[in-house]
Amino acid sequence: MKIETDPKRISELARRMEDVNWAFRCFLKASDLTIEHIDSIVHKVYKAVSAQIDCRQCANCCKIGRPLLTRKDIERLAAHLAVSKEHFVTEYLVSDEKGEGHFFRSMPCPFLSNNLCMLYSCRPNDCRSYPHLQKKEFVFRLNQAFSNCSVCPIVFNVYERLKQEIRFNRVT
């Protein structure tokens, strides 16, 4: 299967396949497959796909994503920039409506330059773990993966390969 890397094409394909992708999400939620078995497939496919994609060629997650920054993320970033936490929050962030953290005020990320993170060594944890496919219990993050199919080439390609690996044959 060909790896698709163009963010615009991925967005369009994900939009066109939305019904099938949602059906696959529902299928996985109700599947008799164990969480561990699904994770093993996801991790295997993620490893194969991510080895073929250079995130620096895309950086779409940094352009349209909104990572949730925790208090520790803010402390780390402010220290790296040698500014107070208050200054960092005022200058770059807005509060999450649920009160769980903060988001960057602007998109793309204010620290993205030529598809590279200027704060890579101290980036937020949400950015560090993106696209979250290497984590355990994939089935509990299916909504996130479904949404990220239109954003991230890795997620898009993993999701497409998962449909083949698990032999999901629903056609719209």
| 131-146 tens-digit pLDDT | 999 999 999 999 999 9
Task: For residue range 75-121, list pLDDT tens digits in order.
Answer: 999 999 999 999 999 999 999 888 889 999 999 999 999 999 999 99
| Cα 72 → chain centroid | 20
Counting residues of the chain whose pLDDT is more than 90, the rounded percentage is: 92
In the chain, what are the domain boundaries? Answer: 7-61+131-165, 68-129
Q: pTM of this prediction?
A: 0.91
Measured distance CA(141)–CA(135) in Å, rounded: 10
The 10 Å Cβ neighbour count of residue 1 is: 8
Measured distance CA(67)–CA(128) in Å, rounded: 10
